[in-house]
Structure 1
């Protein structure tokens, strides 16, 4: 036994770690957990981005102001906050896979109901209840991937899951384009069909979930009566038995990222129409640039995060995003805008690639990981609740609209400060 240990040199350990990060080393359970969580997140992203894409149409359909349109997005954020916390707790009891499917069923049902909403009140109600499932899907899916993937490649797994965010947005843009072409626009029943399509994910992912194994960590905790008792005591007094500093760092980091995301992406189509004076088809090209930039950001993050660490990747992405948003706000040159928006997607969207693994690692080992990840990520969505209201309220004039988007620069700086205060968690073992 001693001789085998002495043969493990730092060089051989590094070689083994590098080999473990390779794609061919990824196990079948890891791929299956990623498939369920990634597709669940992709379809949620479709539903979320569809709303921002349809804001101009809904304004005409229901006769709403920009501030009222921002309320739709804030209601979505409120539902996601609530659902993420509730279903984080549920996932600690029922398991990650079953909770994920429950949440997919909820957001699929209420997306379908949005297609028959007769007025803005019913639309807001259906949106809120659907958002409960959206918030819960991320929490259960991120916990499943974090607990299933090996520590040496957990960052890669989390990044690949999060890539569902831009893929879902591109799916929304593509389907919206097809429906718009078929119906001669999205007004009338065109926008309703888009939400009806959002009811399909449950039927697609039901068969995926049946073949997805449960988190081995969750199964191990369930099998231990002692740890179940510990989980109950954590629920009764979570702040007394958990890493409070880690939880606060996770919450504030996500708060500023959510402010950035919802502030920039929610208003991009409307900003391009009203301030940059681009027609809808032209602005749609810029939105595509945003999403393809995000995909590039996710892919690069997945390739480097387990090698370089969480902190340097976060700082680099925040820097790229801040510069890009600054150019995006002030520039009127089409080429400069195209490049800046691509890099905005790369930095602002791509940084979410590290959210799931980072939260699981910085919060640490606990029987209530689902609940605490839900508190951190979905509680942090308060930033997403505030941003659309702030920017929508300022958007009555072109100058006000620009000022509203400029508030995101402050959020970039604040997020960077949080990263510098947080520990490096690369390779941390979860139990």
Structure 2
């Protein structure tokens, strides 16, 4: 097969396979193992270079998560320090997610034009620098600006890292492989919760929130590893370099014709899907710590304990969802866990006052469901776009959905004073309903090979 397909191979479907089936992206170079059996067969099948890419992407997303959660975990202290309303604190999340759409789109284009690894390093450095800067903010307005700029790197890291690994993974194991990458979000979340518990236990709250942000310098160590040990999948890199439309926004918005299908339909429904899932997720991620402290009356240590159930459920959910997305298909996995996530939100926020033990137990299935739905995203969005615009398509759709979904946490913030945080969290369930509707406009991609 030729390694340089004609330009029209970039034009994907209007409901069918984009670009047609193409060869897998060098999951194992000559002489590297290709064993795909056993519980960790997916990892062995990546080969040495693929596993180094996996380690870089896993670490990048874990630290991306860590830097993100420095804000929600410090929200109560920030509100007290600057004298903020619920609406003002909710705006922190909104600007982060809105600006992340810009960062994700730019990082996607960079990934297609200069390569996955270089783009990954740029995103990691960006979110680390501005997370640390947040700790030096003298007022609310400055912190809002720094948090927005942090969103530039935050928005791009996941899409770039996911594509890097997807192009090493085989079609058979791509769901599990990318689900494992997604599980690193729970690892970073757990690390942030542990650091939060320690920092706020031993330091005054007025200093503790600054220290939380300063610990966001950790990702700088990862950049050294990525620069020395990680490289793009050779086959995909060659395919991308030979394309005249690499990193083209025009390509992902091209309308289909009777003879040449385009990517506009795919892009539209992928944005809707991302909006629904991330609107639901970030509503919970942003407001559950505040809900536990303000409405359930939990201490710092108590909040950390409850979050441990939520986070452990999330970690197992990511791994389970990765397995199911290979077994059931991308669309069925997302639809299943959209329904279960909405049900879990309604149950979690309607537990009677005083029944905190039930709240503790329900944290596990809530974390499980709201995370399992994400496991298929890395593989699904990668498979919806051809190699030359894979970064552009995935970066734009995932992060535009993240930005539009940012409206949900903001609505919760402004309604919290009248509805209560628990009541306002209902908007998270509505996000999952939107995700299910979006699936009707997208094709199933399980088994699709990537170059």
TM-score (norm 1): 0.89
1:289 CA drift (Å): 1.1
- What is the RMSD of the two structures over their aligned residues, measured on CA atoms? 2.0
SS at match of 1:151: coil
Structure-2 separation of matches of 1:223 and 1:107: 28
State how 1:211-360 maps to structure 2 within 5 Å: 211-224=229-242, 227=243, 229-231=244-246, 234-236=248-250, 238-240=252-254, 242-332=262-352, 333-360=355-382
User: What is the aligned counterpart of 2:47 among 17, 24, 27?
Assistant: 27
- Point out where structure 2 has 5 or more consecutive residues left out of the alignment: 1-34, 256-261
State how 1:176-191 maps to structure 2 within 5 Å: 176-183=196-203, 185=204, 187-191=205-209
1:111 CA drift (Å): 1.4
State how 1:8-407 maps to structure 2 within 5 Å: 22-183=42-203, 185=204, 187-224=205-242, 227=243, 229-231=244-246, 234-236=248-250, 238-240=252-254, 242-332=262-352, 333-361=355-383, 363-397=384-418, 399-407=419-427
Structure-2 separation of matches of 1:311 and 1:18: 25
1:282 CA drift (Å): 1.8
Cα contact 2:236–2:387 (8 A) shared by 1: no
1:114 CA drift (Å): 1.4
Structure-2 separation of matches of 1:384 and 1:252: 9
Given the superposition, is the C-alpha separation of residues 278 and 175 from structure 1 closer, same or farther in structure 2, using an over 3 Å criterion?
closer
Cα contact 1:88–1:140 (8 A) shared by 2: yes
1:198 CA drift (Å): 0.5
1:406 CA drift (Å): 1.1
Cα contact 1:327–1:337 (8 A) shared by 2: no
- Point out where structure 1 has 5 or more consecutive residues left out of the alignment: 1-15
1:176 CA drift (Å): 1.5
Deviation per CA, 1:62-117, whole angstroms, max 9, x where unpaired? Answer: 11111000111111112211100111111111100011001111111111211211
Structure-1 separation of matches of 2:249 and 2:351: 50
Given the superposition, is the C-alpha separation of residues 384 and 230 from structure 1 closer, same or farther in structure 2, using an over 3 Å criterion?
closer
TM-score (norm 2): 0.85
The count of residues paired between Structure 1 and Structure 2 equals: 408
Residue equivalent to 1:8: none
Cα contact 1:21–1:152 (8 A) shared by 2: no
Residue equivalent to 1:4: none
1:281 CA drift (Å): 2.4
Cα contact 1:364–1:430 (8 A) shared by 2: no
1:354 CA drift (Å): 1.2
Deviation per CA, 1:335-385, whole angstroms, max 9, x where unpaired? Answer: 321232211111112211111111111x23141111111110000012432
Residue equivalent to 1:6: none
1:217 CA drift (Å): 4.2
